Each structure stands twice: as C-alpha cells, then as structure tokens.
C-alpha cells in the first residue's frame, strides 16, 4: 500500500505526510528544554492525559464508536500500561539524562524489536534485508548506548575497568530509552488484538488517559515541585508537546494510515530522530561525539532497512527475475536459430605477374 499524494484531499499533502514525524521529533526537543524546571513523570502525565482527551473529542466528532464489553476495556488497559505508562515513563526518565536527538534515535529503534517479536509471535519472515538491518541496528545502538570506555576497551582490554563502565551505563539515560523502545514495540504488537474489539483512534485516546493516571499518582508520591518552577516558555513547551506532539501528530498519522499509506509512513520513521537531532543541536546545543554519530548513522540505516525490507526484497526479486528471463530468452533465440552452413562466394584473382603454363 503506497500513498498517492495526488489522491489526497488535504491541501499541502506532502508536508502533512511529514508533519507527524516533524512534530514527534521537535516535541522531544521541547520536552528536553523544560526538564530542568520540572520532573520527568509529571511531563509524561501532561503529555498523555490532555492529548487523550483531545483525541477522544476528535473521535466523537468523527462518529467513532466507544469501547463495548469487558474484553475491549481489558485490552485497552493492557495497551495503556505498556504503550503509555511504561513507554512514556521510561521516555521521560531517560530524556532527563540524555539528549533529545540521541534519545529519539533510541526510541525509534523500536522497529528492530517489532520485527523480532513478529517473527516470534506471528512467524513473519524477516528476510535478508531485515536481518541485515537488525545486525546494523544492534551495532548502531551499541555505539550509542554503551559507555565509550567499553567500546574503546575492545582495542585495549587492559585499560577498560568493567565496574566503571557499568556505573557509567546506568548513570546515562540510553538504557531507559531502550526500555522505552521495547515498551513501544510491545505496544505496537498489542494493537493487533486491541483493534479486534475497539476502534484504533478511540483506543489511542483512552490508552493515553488510562496510562497517564498512574504516572500522575507516582509523580505525586515520589516527586516534588513539579510545576512550581515552570515559566511561561516552559508551559508553552509542554503545550506544544501535548497538542502538537501527541494529539495532532497522532491524528495526522491515523488519517494517512486509514488512507492506505501505512507503508509510506513506515518508510518515513527515520525522519523523527533526524528532526530531533537537528533541532536539538540548533536550540539546545546538543553535540554528539564521534562514536555516537557513527551509531546514529548505523541506526538510521537499520531503521530504513527494517521498514523497507519487503519493498527491497521485491525489487531484488524483480531484478533477478528480469535477468533470468533475459537468459531464457537468449537461450531460446539461440535454439530456434537455423545454424545451417553458409556458402560464401570467393573470387580468386590470378596475378598478372604469374607465368603462363
């Protein structure tokens, strides 16, 4: 299913197609900018619950049916726990300890985990390009998430203290971002069962609300001065993350997905960390070290290969099929040719200098 932008009724359809990934990437930068003035779990709550209310209002305006039966609410609750509470909780805690761009790369590595889960649960084929993407992705995430001392210690093992590396690993936020990516991957797989009982847009709204309430409770119990130090620009950043980074971004995403453009959307996943990296550098002055830059590049390549593995496999098969067809056609032409002997007339001229016999 490829999106045909010319068939879309929305104005500026190409820009709107990219908008969700732009909004998600810049929302990471906005959240990171307000983190020093608030607490992580409060930010996660603010981003979820108001956005869930907006999504449900939009669903009601579109005439979407509300969940019916205990099975629908059970799957929504499970979806909310994994894809909202755990995902946003790990994301906010990790974002407080790492950069917006780097964190976004870790979060958007979740297609790697989705591919493995689908292989295990649904026996979906990964294929050559998928496995290549997984290998490259593991290498990229290792360069991003592992302490530099561990990686450099591979060249000089005697100068790599393990204890210092472990402490450095858990002080950073990369491992929390990886847990967030795994939570998002499990939530992506759960959607298959959730959509059997409830409309996906309605499920998205309710799972934001139900998943945000535990974060509010945990924030109230463990955090303090959540909003005392937030200034006007901080509330604007939170508002941007909530309205644009959650409600509007998800609304556009589901609109294009329902229009038969899921494959196109998947191929654009890598744009989210690109936007986060660019605006994180411009607005927050975030700079990656050489190993992290190399890891980001490998991870983006792996995301593309994972998302486009079917398309790349089809193109490869077409190329092979075309070569095989050309060989068969050539062989057929040779077999059908009449390889009869050909008589060539040759004129012999006797030199005038020869003596007459």
**Mean pLDDT in residue range 125-151:** 76
% of the chain exceeding 90 in pLDDT: 27
HSE-up of residue 330 (Cα within 13 Å, Cβ side): 6
Compute how many other C-beta atoms are within 10 angstroms of the C-beta atom of residue 195: 12
Among 53-67, 98-112, 121-135, 137-151, the least confident range = 137-151
Is pTM beyond 0.85? Reply is: no
- Please report whether residue 144 resides in a domain: no
The pair of structure tokens assigned to 303 is 């995301």
Tell me which H or E stretch contains 202: helix 200-222
- Please report whether residue 260 resides in a domain: yes
Among 125-134, 192-201, 218-227, the least confident range = 125-134
The pair of structure tokens assigned to 212 is 């945000």
Domain of 99? 20-113+173-284
Q: How far apart are CA 150 and CA 126, in angstroms?
A: 30
Confidence of residue 109 (pLDDT cuts 50, 70, 90): confident
Q: How far apart are CA 167 and CA 161, in angstroms?
A: 10
Q: How far apart are CA 116 and CA 11, in angstroms?
A: 38
How many angstroms separate the first and last alpha carbons of the chain?
88
- Please report whether residue 221 resides in a domain: yes
pLDDT digits (tens, 9 = 90+) for 242-257: 999 988 887 777 667 6
When mean pLDDT is compared over 215-229, 281-295, 323-337, the highest value belongs to: 215-229
- Please report whether residue 52 resides in a domain: yes
Compute how many other C-beta atoms are within 10 angstroms of the C-beta atom of residue 23: 25
- Please report whether residue 293 resides in a domain: no
Instruction: Give how many domains the chain has, as a whole number.
Output: 1
73 pLDDT above the threshold of 60: yes
Q: How far apart are CA 286 and CA 146, in angstroms?
A: 18
The pair of structure tokens assigned to 118 is 């689908």
When mean pLDDT is compared over 193-202, 203-212, 334-343, 348-357, the highest value belongs to: 203-212
pLDDT, position 218 = 95
Residue where the block lists tokens 């990369």: 174
Contact predicate 54/247, CB 8 Å = yes
Q: How far apart are CA 275 and CA 160, in angstroms?
A: 35
For residues 198, 247, 189, 192, the Cα torsion angle rounded to the nearest 10 degrees is 20
pLDDT digits (tens, 9 = 90+) for 19-51: 888 998 899 999 999 999 999 999 999 999 999
pLDDT, position 264 = 53
pLDDT, position 141 = 76
**Mean pLDDT in residue range 64-84:** 93
Q: How far apart are CA 32 and CA 43, in angstroms?
A: 10
**Mean pLDDT in residue range 227-255:** 88
Mention every residue, 6+ apart, whose C-beta is less than 8 A from residue 237.
Answer: 30, 31, 33, 34
pLDDT, position 1 = 37
> Of 238, 177, 282, nearest to 27 (Cα)?
238
- Please report whether residue 225 resides in a domain: yes
pLDDT, position 235 = 94
- Please report whether residue 4 resides in a domain: no
pLDDT, position 170 = 59
pLDDT, position 205 = 92
Among 38-42, 123-127, 168-172, 176-180, the least confident range = 168-172
- Please report whether residue 327 resides in a domain: no
Q: How far apart are CA 6 and CA 27, in angstroms?
A: 29
Contact predicate 248/23, CB 8 Å = yes
Q: How far apart are CA 336 and CA 332, in angstroms?
A: 6
Confidence of residue 4 (pLDDT cuts 50, 70, 90): very low
pLDDT digits (tens, 9 = 90+) for 284-319: 888 878 887 888 888 888 878 877 777 787 887 888
Q: How far apart are CA 26 and CA 10, in angstroms?
A: 23
- Mean pLDDT for all residues in the chain: 78
Confidence of residue 114 (pLDDT cuts 50, 70, 90): confident
% of the chain exceeding 70 in pLDDT: 75
Among 109-123, 196-210, 260-274, the least confident range = 260-274
């Amino acid at each position: 299913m490829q999106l045909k932008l010319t068939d879309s009724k929305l104005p500026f359809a190409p820009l709107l197609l990219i908008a969700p990934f732009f909004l998600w990437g810049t929302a990471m930068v906005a959240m990171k900018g307000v983190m020093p003035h608030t607490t992580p779990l409060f930010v996660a709550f603010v981003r979820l619950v108001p956005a869930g209310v907006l999504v449900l209002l939009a669903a009601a305006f579109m005439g979407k049916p509300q969940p019916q039966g205990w099975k629908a609410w059970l799957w929504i609750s499970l979806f909310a726990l994994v894809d909202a509470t755990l995902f946003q909780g790990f994301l906010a805690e990790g974002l407080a300890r790492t950069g917006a761009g780097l964190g976004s790369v870790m979060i958007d590595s979740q297609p790697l985990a989705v591919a493995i889960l689908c292989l295990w649960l649904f026996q979906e084929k990964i294929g050559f390009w998928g496995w290549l993407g997984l290998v490259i992705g593991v290498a990229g995430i290792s360069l991003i998430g592992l302490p530099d001392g561990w990686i450099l210690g591979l060249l000089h093992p005697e100068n790599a203290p393990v204890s210092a590396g472990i402490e450095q690993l858990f002080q950073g936020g990369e491992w929390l971002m990886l847990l967030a990516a795994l939570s998002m991957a499990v939530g992506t797989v759960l959607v298959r069962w959730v959509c059997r009982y409830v409309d996906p847009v309605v499920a998205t709204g309710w799972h934001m609300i139900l998943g945000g309430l535990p974060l509010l409770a945990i924030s109230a119990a463990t955090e303090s001065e959540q909003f005392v130090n937030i200034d006007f620009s901080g509330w604007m950043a939170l508002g941007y993350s909530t309205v644009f980074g959650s409600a509007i971004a998800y609304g556009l995403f589901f609109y294009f997905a329902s229009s038969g453009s899921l494959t196109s959307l998947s191929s654009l996943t890598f744009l989210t960390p690109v936007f986060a990296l660019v605006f994180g550098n411009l607005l927050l002055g975030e700079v990656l070290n050489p190993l992290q830059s190399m890891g980001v590049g490998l991870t983006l390549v792996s995301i593309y290969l994972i998302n486009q593995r079917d398309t790349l496999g089809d193109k490869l098969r077409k190329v092979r099929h075309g070569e095989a067809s050309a060989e068969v056609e050539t062989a057929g032409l040779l077999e059908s040719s009449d390889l009869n002997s050909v008589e060539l007339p040759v004129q012999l001229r006797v030199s005038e200098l020869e003596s007459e016999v």
